[in-house]
A and B are shown apart, each in its own frame.
Chain A
Amino acid sequence: DGGITQSPKYLFRKEGQNVTLSCEQNLNHDAMYWYRQDPGQGLRLIYYSQIVNDFQKGDIAEGYSVSREKKESFPLTVTSAQKNPTAFYLCASRNWAGGFTGELFFGEGSRLTVL
């Protein structure tokens, strides 16, 4: 079945360590997104990418990095520079054809806890 897969679902990290969250989609979508969600809050955009080898910062990009080497994959690295990384991370994708878009498809999320 087509969909978007995030891994790992749960991740624990010590302070000062970098960690990479995986996001893979087989929907042939051009655009991919990373959001952060804190308890009781809405989603905040970290990074997005509309095309391979190109990506843009969202509202809260500091302390995060991404790459888009393949259309299907958009990994997010949470670096040690991110001061408060404990959160629920959501990856999403959607069509992007000359500005026309469809609905967002979300993964099941990755919950990162920094010990």
Chain B
Amino acid sequence: DAKTTQPPSMDCAEGRAANLPCNHSTISGNEYVYWYRQIHSQGPQYIIHGLKNNETNEMASLIITEDRKSSTLILPHATLRDTAVYYCILDGGANNLFFGTGTRLTVIP
């Protein structure tokens, strides 16, 4: 699966929206964009995924550009519990998924 690039860190004020970008310019047609987050010393947790259309669930929204070369994860009202490392993953069903270093989001009171 292709690789993704994310900013190493971001800050967000508590109660504000957190917008986490991800670039995936070499994404293939069958690859979904998945987002996971990892709170310190725990296993990663699935957040959301999408193929072409924007998606929303109880945790977050995912905006995928029309050319599918980039996406943004939106946490609409960040809380202190959202402080974590967020991983953007391309998944076309292969086994060796690329987990880079992700974006460390710090929510500030």
* Per-position binary interface string of chain A over residues 23-47, scored 1 when its CB falls under 8 Å from any chain B CB and 0 otherwise: 0000000010101000011111100
**Interface of chain B: mostly helix, strand, loop or mixed:** loop
Sorting the interface of chain B by its residue count into under 10, 10 to 19, 20 to 34 or 35 or more gives 20 to 34
**Interface of chain A: mostly helix, strand, loop or mixed:** strand
Residues of A within 8 Å of B96, CB to CB, are: 45, 48, 58-59
> Number of A-B pairs whose CB atoms are under 8 Å?
52
Residues of A within 8 Å of B98, CB to CB, are: 42
Q: Is the CB of B93 within 8 A of A100?
A: yes
CB distance from A6 to the nearest CB of B (A): 8
Contact surface of A with B, Cβ cutoff 8 Å: 6, 31, 33, 35, 40-45, 48, 50, 56, 58-59, 88, 90, 92, 99-101, 103-109, 111
The complex places the Cα of A106 from the Cα of B41 at a distance, in Å, of 12
